Homo-oligomer: A and B are copies of this chain.
Amino acid sequence: MAGVTTRTRLSPDQRRTQLLDLGVRLLSTRSVDELSIDLLAEEAGISRGLLYHYFGNKAAFHEAVVRHAADDLIAQTAPPTSGDAFERLHASMAAYLAYVEQNLAGYLSLVRGSAGGSEAMREIYDEARAALTDRVFDDEHDGFRVPDTPLARLVVRGWAAMAEDAVLSWVLDPTGVSREQLLDMLTAALPSLVATVPEQ
């Protein structure tokens, strides 16, 4: 008959990731207050109550979604281990770009959550950013040096903001710029910017 609803019972892990994946997808097009728990529950084929059982409240769910997206980004853009600083930088940017291209929904819900949301969200975002920049400069600095001064940190941080903006802009509208051009530009930008900072 119509409306025969057999509830499907999953393991907590399965259900949790199902809801997080769905959240990532839905939050890539709407903002968080344009997404009602009602819609989410219907889309997932569950009751509202279940979402609260897993995440407590809406804000906590949103935070979990953003963290989920961030973890995915960090995991999938593994740090390059071979080559000099330049090569590692280039490979790191390529991996980052590839991730944004292949996982636009997840990336967008991460970016959206970060700026608009709470303090906790911004921390998650900063972690993700740090994972992209720090890993290149952790160890030896063969290729070019980055002095560890407040101004240099401002520059590197600013460069990361530039890279994020440029990558997203390009993915959303790549007309007129090739992938290699973009990567070369971003790779060249960092040493070029660092060079303008006084050594000490």
Contact = CB atoms under 8 A, between A and B. Distances in A.
A86 interface: no
Interface SS of chain A: helix
B154 A182 contact: yes
A175 B153 CA distance: 12
Contacts of A193: 189, 192-193
Contact of A31 (B116, B169, B189): B116
7 contacts: A112-B116, A115-B116, A116-B116, A158-B166, A185-B196, A189-B193, A192-B193
Nearest to A117: B31
Contacts of A164: 161
A21 B23 CA distance: 34
Contacts of A160: 165
B115 A185 contact: no
